């Protein structure tokens, strides 16, 4: 079949904008020839006759899009790539994290853009050597990539000699076994890593449903160098929000520097520069629950015969960490009058708008004003407690929770926030009791069940964790999958079901 491989100006612009909008890959004019070459290779193996047909099929979500994606993404990697960074992890970063997280005994790592799996498996081996053989740590290593072919190969954990070009033979022989001229990774190391397909250009993270929240370490090396500047900044901002306070971001030497990572602390190690989220950074992301990411809402170029959509995507910005002194709200004994109630309602609506824009300190001032006039406003008091927790101001955060519960001992959001604060501080027994109260007050309060399951895992009680995960599945099965679950950061019932299924599988793998 004769195929036309000429990439006209119009087609170049459409392909360029399509891959930029969908996956953040940037092909400016200087890389046009490279794009044309790769598209020509895809065309040769497709059923399309021209690049125009290839574009139309890719835009419509046909097989051509996956083929283009596979051709454009880079999978060049090997075990223990960048020895200096792994040395910093082994000698400094991981020992510090293990000491700081010793109370909760949980550790979460993310290899973003993992390609064929060499990087996350390298992390698993380093952790295996640092932890004692009979340890009770709950270690989670998430590995993600946009290319499903890479993920399939990573899941096989079967590698050729080229992947070991910086791996000592004794390490290879300890963790791999020869298999028909290749090397198969040990099953116990393979079980430490879970692979998930995630597009870093989409604002689908951090989120509990795909396991990308509360990370202690994120590695994203030699990935963002293929993105445009806007996408790079959005990705780095989302990584910042995905990390726990004191968490680490590790990028490649060729990644952009300076202002892109201005929110992080810069730490220099021998031949390696790593970025750390400050220990006093906000713990929670205070954003009113809303819809999860809808990929159809992105602005993507239409095929030549269709009009271009006018949709746009809004991003939240990382909050300023400055610390103005906010006084405690005074308690009034007078009930609010009609005018006060009207003013409070307007003030509350303004607060919600400010929180949606991440204008946290402006919202805090209004919350204090609102509570001076109406100290019985439980939503405002709990929200103020969450803002204090964001600044690691634990005494005032707990004070707001306790004040809310003194007014109404049955108020579930205050119990739930108190449980989260205690869990973060390593007070697992107290956290467990607070989570248990939320479920006692509402037998269908799924976030409380998930909190209890997580604490039981931290306490080394996987059977208890499984029981509460299954209880959560029972209640989620009684509502439509599209139902938004309160206090779950906008996650739907269906998304939480998938998340719980992965957690149950991870517990089963660890117990086998």
Q: How confident is the model over 120-144, as pLDDT tens digits? A: 999 999 999 999 888 888 888 999 9
How many other C-beta atoms can be found within 10 angstroms of the C-beta atom of residue 482?
9
Report if residue 336 sits inside a domain. Answer: no
pLDDT of residue 392: 65
Residue 284 covered by a domain: no
Q: Where are the beta strands (DSSP E) in 270-391?
A: 272-276
CA angle, 441 then 408 then 338, to 5°: 130
User: Is 125 inside a domain boundary?
Assistant: yes
Domain end call among 224, 251, 276:
276
- Is the predicted pLDDT of residue 410 greater than 90, yes or no? yes
Residue 354 lies in a domain: yes
Among 72, 93, 110, the domain boundary falls at 72
Report if residue 313 sits inside a domain: no
Highest mean pLDDT among 112-121, 360-369, 418-427: 112-121
Reading the block at residue 511, the tokens are 């117990």
pLDDT of residue 282: 67
215 in the same domain as 244: yes
Closest by Cα among 299, 111, 85, 103 to 195: 111
One domain for residues 117 and 214 = yes
More confident residue, 176 or 19: 176
Q: What is the pLDDT of residues 352-406, one digit of tens each?
A: 887 777 677 788 888 999 998 899 999 999 999 988 876 667 788 899 999 999 9
What is the phi/psi pair of residue 219, to 5°? -105, 125
Residue 143 is part of which domain span? 83-276
Question: What is residue 183's three-state secondary structure?
Answer: strand
Q: In the chain, what percentage of residues exceed pLDDT 70?
A: 84
DSSP classification of residue 193:
E
CATH code at 352?
Answer: 1.25.40.10
- The CATH number linked to 194 is 3.40.50.150
**CA separation for the pair 483, 495 (Å, rounded):** 10
Has residue 335 been placed in a domain? Answer: no
237 with 385, same domain: the answer is no
Specify whether 98 is located in the same domain as 61: no
| Confidence category of residue 284, pLDDT binned at 50, 70, 90 | low
Does residue 473 contact residue 119 with C-beta atoms inside 8 Å?
A: no
Give pLDDT, residue 178: 94
How do beta strands 243-251 and 193-197 pair?
Answer: unpaired
Q: What is the pLDDT of residue 209?
A: 67
Separation between Cα atoms, residue 90 and residue 397, nearest integer Å: 35
Same domain, 348 and 471: yes
d(CA 29, CA 19): 14
Q: To the nearest whole number, what is the mean pLDDT of the chain? A: 82
- Long-range contacts of the stretch 70-76 (C-beta < 8 A, 24+): 70/147, 70/149, 71/38, 71/39, 71/41, 71/42, 72/19, 72/23, 72/25, 72/35, 72/38, 73/25, 73/145, 73/146, 73/147, 73/150, 74/115, 74/222, 74/226, 75/115, 75/116, 75/147, 75/150, 76/115
Amino acid 4: pLDDT: 58
Cα angle, residue 218 at apex, residues 85 and 190 outer, rounded to 5°: 85
Say if CB 35 and CB 12 are below 8 A apart. yes
184-215 pLDDT, tens per residue?
A: 999 999 999 989 889 998 888 887 767 788 89
* Final residue in a domain of this structure, among 72, 94, 120: 72
Rounded CA separation 512/504 (Å): 12
Same domain, yes or no: 67 and 96 = no
- Statement to judge: residues 235 and 366 lie in one domain: no
Query: pLDDT tens, 471-505?
Result: 999 999 898 887 888 887 667 788 788 778 878 87
Banded model confidence at residue 111, pLDDT cuts 50, 70, 90: very high
Q: Is the pLDDT of residue 296 over 80?
A: no
Give yes or no: residues 256 and 391 share one domain: no
- Number of independent structural domains in the chain: 3
Given a cut of 80, whether residue 241 has pLDDT beyond it is yes
Same domain, 143 and 27: no
Verify that 67 and 87 share a domain, yes or no.
Answer: no
pLDDT at 321 over 70: no
Looking at the structure, tell me whether residues 238 and 348 fall in a common domain.
no
- Angle (CA) 242-245-246 rounded to 5° is 110
Q: Is residue 302 part of a domain?
A: no
Q: Domain for residue 243, yes or no?
A: yes
61 backbone φψ class: left, alpha, beta (φ>0; ψ -120 to 50): left
Same-domain pairing of 374 and 477:
yes
Query: Contacts from 343-352 at CB under 8 Å and sequence distance 24+?
Result: 343/373, 344/370, 344/373, 344/374, 344/377, 348/377, 348/379, 348/380, 351/380, 351/383, 352/288
């Amino acid at each position: 079949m004769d195929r036309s491989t000429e990439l006209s100006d119009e087609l170049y612009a459409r392909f360029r904008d399509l891959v930029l909008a969908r996956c953040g890959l940037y092909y400016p004019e200087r890389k046009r020839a490279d794009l044309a070459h790769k598209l020509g290779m895809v065309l040769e193996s497709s059923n399309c006759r021209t690049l125009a047909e290839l574009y139309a099929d890719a835009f419509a979500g046909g097989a051509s899009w996956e083929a283009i994606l596979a051709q454009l993404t880079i999978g060049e990697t090997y075990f223990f790539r960048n020895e200096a960074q792994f040395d910093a992890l082994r000698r400094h970063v991981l020992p510090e994290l293990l000491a700081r997280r010793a109370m909760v005994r949980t550790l979460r790592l993310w290899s973003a853009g993992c390609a064929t799996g060499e990087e996350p498996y390298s992390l698993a081996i380093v952790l295996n050597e640092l932890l004692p053989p009979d340890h009770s740590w709950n270690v989670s290593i998430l590995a993600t990539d946009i290319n499903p072919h890479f993920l399939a190969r990573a899941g096989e954990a079967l590698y050729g000699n080229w992947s070991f070009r910086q791996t000592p033979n004794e390490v290879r022989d300890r963790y791999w076994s020869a298999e028909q001229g290749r090397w198969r990774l040990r099953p116990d190391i393979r079980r430490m890593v879970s692979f998930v397909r995630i597009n870093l250009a989409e604002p689908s993270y951090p989120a509990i449903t795909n396991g990308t929240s509360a990370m202690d370490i994120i590695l994203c090396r030699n990935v963002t160098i293929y993105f445009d500047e806007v996408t790079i900044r959005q990705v780095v901002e989302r990584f910042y929000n995905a990390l726990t306070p004191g968490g680490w971001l590790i990028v490649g030497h060729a990644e952009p520097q300076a202002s892109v990572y201005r929110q992080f602390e810069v730490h220099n190690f021998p031949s390696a520069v790593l970025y750390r989220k400050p220990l006093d950074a906000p713990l929670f992301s205070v954003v009113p629950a809303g819809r999860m990411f809808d990929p159809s809402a992105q602005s993507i170029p239409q095929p030549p015969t269709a009009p271009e959509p006018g949709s746009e995507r809004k991003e939240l910005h990382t909050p300023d960490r400055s610390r103005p002194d906010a006084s405690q709200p005074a308690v009034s004994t007078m009930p609010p009058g009609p005018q006060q109630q009207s003013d409070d309602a307007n003030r509350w609506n303004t607060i919600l708008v400010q929180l949606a824009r991440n204008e946290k300190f402006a919202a805090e001032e209004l919350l204090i004003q609102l509570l001076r006039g109406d100290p019985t406003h439980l939503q405002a008091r709990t929200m103020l407690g969450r803002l204090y927790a964001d600044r690691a101001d634990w005494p005032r955060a707990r004070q707001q929770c306790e004040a809310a519960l003194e007014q109404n001992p049955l108020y579930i959001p205050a119990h739930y926030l108190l449980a989260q604060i205690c869990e973060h501080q390593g007070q697992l027994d107290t956290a467990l009791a607070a989570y248990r109260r939320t479920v006692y007050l509402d037998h269908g309060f799924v976030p409380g069940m998930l909190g209890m399951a997580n604490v039981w895992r931290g306490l080394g009680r996987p059977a208890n964790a499984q029981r509460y995960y299954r209880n959560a599945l029972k209640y989620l099965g009684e509502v439509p999958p599209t139902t938004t679950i309160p206090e779950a950061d906008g996650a739907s019932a269906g998304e939480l079901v998938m998340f719980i299924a992965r957690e149950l599988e991870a517990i089963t793998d660890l117990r086998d």
